[in-house]
Every structure is written in structure tokens, then in C-alpha cells.
Amino acid sequence: MDPLRILISNDDGVFADGIRSLAAEAARRGHQVTVVCPDQERSATGHGLTLQTPLRAERADELFAEGVTAWACSGTPSDCVKLALFALLEQWPDLVLSGINHGPNLGTDVLYSGTVSAAMEGTIEGLPALAVSSADFQWRHFQPAASLALDVAERLLREGWPAGALLNLNVPPLPAEAMGPLRWCRTAVRRYTDQFDRRVDPRGRTYYWLAGEVANDLEAEVSGPADWPTDVAHVGAGGAALTPLQPEIFWRGSCAALPSLP
């Protein structure tokens, strides 16, 4: 396909191996790549924006593959994409990529994810956007996820990107040859147990550390075609999960179930 203008961001920051692998793969395929990402880790910032302090952006080309133009921004992932679109880029991109995240973005965790929010910023502006995550915090072999992400994006751009859809790709921590099939998936429900670790500092004051263990609710009723697996279940079985999301979060239940208002 013809070379694309691709904007890449993330929430793990400019020094993360995942974003460098993704940018290098896109550049290797002949695309014009611009990276605008946080200057430090901004994980789990959701769709936060910086409103009370100025944003700063510095060039960081030397951290990336040859031919990649890169900026390190002082703000959140959503700040980065907004700044790219409305201040840094001379032309808007054909595609927004976010990732590769160092860890999964599965189920309802997408609500907290800076990776997904950066891609969603592109969707809000009417651009094709894909978030991609390596579904294990310790896995550091990002090339399979980078190759799959570009394969998916290029194919859907050729065949027609789903209107208004953000695509969320989670790739299992496996070599490409051991990976299961890529499937369309529904978003599962993720909950956590023991979410806060209560501790005492050296001065005797109590503080709390957000921690917790995942307790996936695989029996919860979720939206989407019943014959689609949930993203959590499919990745757990070794497959790659592609989930369509959208900015519109209006409730999809029956209006008859709502109580009447006075």
C-alpha cells in the first residue's frame, strides 16, 4: 500500500521499548512516522488533560529508528495526541497508533488506560486509531505485537476502517509462531481484590498503595455478539484479541427499566 502518515503515542513514555519497536516497524514498512509521547511514564492516566500548567515538547529523534520524527511531551497521552494534531504536525496523519503498552489493556481496564485514551483522541477527531498492548508486564519481546499491529491497521485501511471505531489490540506474550488466532472480541468485566495496601510511614502516618489482584468476572453479561469470545478469555488462551470501542458510552439497556422521573 502507499506510504501512510502515522502518528504514534503511548503512556509508558519516550524511553519505553514498546513504542520504539512499533515506530521502527512502521518506518521499516516505508511509512512516514511521527512520535509524540510523554517524556516519562504516564500509565493509568485515563483521558486526563493538563489544564493548570503549560505543556512542553522537546525533540527526541535520537531515541528512535532512522527517519522517525519524535517529540517528548510533558503532558498526558491525550495531551500528546491533541498537541500533535493541533500544534506540531503540518499535516494530519492517516492513522493514529498507541503503544505498544507494557502490559494488557483488557476488559473494563480500558477506562483507565492512557494507551487506549491516546488512541481514542484520534477516534474523536475522526481518524482511524489502534491501541496495541503486550498482555504481560514482564514480556519484552515486542516485535510480534508490532508486526501484527501494522498488519491489522494496513488491512483495515485497505478494506475500510469501521466508522467511528477505536480498535483495541491485545497480543499474548508468545512468539509469533506460537500465538493463537486473531479474533474479534468483546470487552470483559475486570475487577480487583485487595485493591489497597495499607502502610505506615517512618513518622507513623498511614498511607495507601494501590495494588490489588485481578479477579476477572467471566460470567458477567457483556455487550457484543454472543459468539465472540471476551478479550480476557481469548488472550488467556493464547490468541490475539481485537476489540472495537467507541467514544459514545451511552447506556445500552432497555429504557423501560429506567424509573419514571417526577
| Torsion on CA atoms 14, 93, 88, 81, rounded to nearest 10 | -50
DSSP state of 30: T
Asked if residue 129 lies in contact with residue 6, where contact means CB atoms within 8 angstroms, the answer is: no
Distance CA 231, CA 234 (A): 5
DSSP codes, 211-242: --EEEEETTS--SS-TTSPBHHHHHHTT-EEE
Is the peptide bond between 100 and the residue preceding it cis, with omega within 30 degrees of 0? yes
CA angle, 146 then 87 then 94, to 5°: 40
Torsion 198-201-204-205 (CA) sign: negative
| pTM confidence score | 0.93
Asked if residue 35 lies in contact with residue 125, where contact means CB atoms within 8 angstroms, the answer is: no
What pLDDT, on a 0 to 100 scale, did the predictor assign at position 192? 75
**Looking up cell 503540518, which residue turns up?**
90
Task: List the helix and strand counts (H, then E) for the chain.
Answer: 5, 13
Asked if residue 144 lies in contact with residue 179, where contact means CB atoms within 8 angstroms, the answer is: yes
What pLDDT, on a 0 to 100 scale, did the predictor assign at position 217? 65
**What residues contact residue 158 under an 8 Å CB cut-off, 6+ apart?**
1
Residue 230 has which C-alpha cell? 471476551
Distance CA 257, CA 42 (A): 39
Distance CA 230, CA 218 (A): 8
The C-alpha R_g of the chain, in whole angstroms, comes to: 19
Beta-carbon count within 10 A of 193 CB: 8
- Fold held by 5-185+227-245: Stationary-phase Survival Protein Sure Homolog; Chain: A, (3.40.1210)
For the chain, domain boundaries: 5-185+227-245, 190-221
The residue count of the chain comes to 262
- Per-residue pLDDT 10s for the chain (262 aa) are 799 999 999 999 999 999 999 999 999 999 999 999 999 999 888 889 999 999 999 999 999 999 999 999 999 999 999 999 999 999 999 999 999 999 999 998 999 999 999 999 999 999 999 999 999 999 999 999 999 999 999 999 999 999 999 999 999 999 999 999 999 999 988 877 767 889 999 999 999 988 777 777 666 777 888 899 999 999 999 999 999 999 988 887 788 888 889 8
